[in-house]
Amino acid sequence: MGRFIILVIALAALWLLLSGYLDKPLLLAFGAGSVLFAAYLARRAKIIDNDSVPGGLFPGVLLYWVWLGGEIGKANMQVIRQALAVEPKLSPKLFLVPNPPKTSVGMATFANSITLTPGTVSVDLREDAILVHALTEDLADVAAITDMGERIKKIERGA
Amino acid sequence: MIDLYIIKDIVSWALMVAGGIAVVAGAIGLVRFPDFFSRIHAAGVTDTGGAELIIIGMLLQAPDWIVAAKLIFIGVFLFLTSPVATHAVAHAAWMTGFKPMQGPDLRYDGDGK
């Protein structure tokens, strides 16, 4: 039931921010009706679980996104330097990052974070590792990527 | 208070120009890098640095909160969905047996496919 309420609140906030109708009662009623209908359908289809409504990630994940934004900025500079260099020093590499988060939400967040950081792309997800392709030796920093995974595990524990 | 508007304009212009540079650099990298997997990284610059910087620059020019909210939604949804598309492409290439170039001398492993 908790997740159902979170889903309703999230959908209502999305509807209000996208439409901006705060003083039109008829439209607000239609909005409330459509939000409840969508949430009811999701419940009826039994798709309300930790994958579709990962409420436990908030609010920790917001701070993580800010941190990730900084990392993306740094990695962007490195890739842009290679792209514009007269003589690019590429050294592509495939490597395994061990011990990713166990839950499917954590795994998805981790793999997406790796892909979102320019210079590294997650290529294959395995039971106990993620196969990553990196553009240069510098970007293939297993310790930094493992640290990223630890941060996600900490968020999932609710720290 | 005219000074504040000028500062806002300068910051938003700087962000948009930086975003534009990132988009162009990504496009140049896309052409220059040697193989499929390294080209994905250049595309990554375009859809993270480029797109987000331009959206933040536009955010500073938003006339009211509703436009700002929509720009934030665009930014967040790009942030969440673009890596999924990138991973789908990279994973598809990997699953069909396409191997990347490796090492500083950019050699394909094994049979030289």
Output the 3-class SS for chain A.
CHHHHHHHHHHHHHHHHHHCCCCCHHHHHHHHHHHHHHHHHHHHCCCCCCCCCCHHHCCHHHHHHHHHHHHHHHHHHHHHHHHHCCCCCCCCEEEEEECCCCCHHHHHHHHHHHHHCCCEEEEEECCCEEEEEECCCCCCCHHHHHHHHHHHHHHHCCC
Same domain, A71 and A146: yes
User: B4: number of CA atoms within 13 Å, CB side?
Assistant: 2
Same domain, A37 and A65: no
Same domain, A120 and A146: yes
Q: Which of A69, A90, A137 sits opposite B106 (nearest CB)?
A: A90
How far apart are alpha carbons B43 and B67 in whole angstroms?
A: 27
Q: What is the pLDDT of residue A36?
A: 94
Same domain, A142 and A74: yes
Which candidate in A22, A110, A135, A137 is best for mutational testing of the B interface (most B CBs within 10 A)?
A135
Residue A123 lies in a domain: yes
Same domain, A113 and A138: yes
**Is the pTM for the entire model greater than 0.80?**
yes
Residue A51 lies in a domain: no
What 3-state DSSP class applies to A130? Answer: strand
- For residue A84, the chain B residues in CB contact (below 8 A) are 25, 28-29
Same domain, A70 and A148: yes
Residue B29 carries which side chain, given as an amino acid letter?
G
How far apart are alpha carbons A116 and B83 in whole angstroms?
A: 5
Q: Tokens 């011990």, residue? A: A99
Q: CB of B102 within 8 Å of any CB in chain A?
A: yes
Query: Which tokens go with B87?
Result: 């991973």
pLDDT in tens, chain B (113 residues): 678 889 989 999 999 999 999 999 999 999 988 888 888 888 888 888 899 999 999 999 988 888 999 999 999 999 889 999 999 999 999 999 888 888 777 777 654 44
Same domain, A76 and A144: yes
Query: Which tokens go with B29?
Result: 């990298």
Residue A87 carries which side chain, given as an amino acid letter?
E
How far apart are alpha carbons A135 and B38 in whole angstroms?
A: 6
Find the closest chain B residue to A133 by CA distance: B37
> The domain containing residue A20 runs over which residues?
2-44
Tell me the pLDDT band of A54, cut-offs 50, 70 and 90.
Answer: confident
ipTM: 0.82
The pairing of strands A120-125 and A129-134 is: antiparallel
Same domain, A35 and A65: no
Residue A52 lies in a domain: no
Same domain, A84 and A135: yes
How far apart are alpha carbons A15 and B74 in whole angstroms?
A: 14
Residue A66 lies in a domain: yes
**Residue A16: pLDDT over 80:** yes
Length in residues, chain A = 159
The pairing of strands A120-125 and A93-98 is: unpaired
Answer for the pair A127, A93: CB distance below 8 angstroms, yes or no: no
- Domains of chain A: total: 2
Q: CB of A28 within 8 Å of any CB in chain B?
A: no
Same domain, A31 and A65: no
Residue A82 lies in a domain: yes
Residue B71 contacts by C-beta under 8 Å, 6 or more apart in sequence?
B55, B58, B59, B62
Same domain, A68 and A128: yes
Residue A114 lies in a domain: yes
Residue A49 lies in a domain: no
Same domain, A111 and A152: yes
Residue A85 carries which side chain, given as an amino acid letter?
A
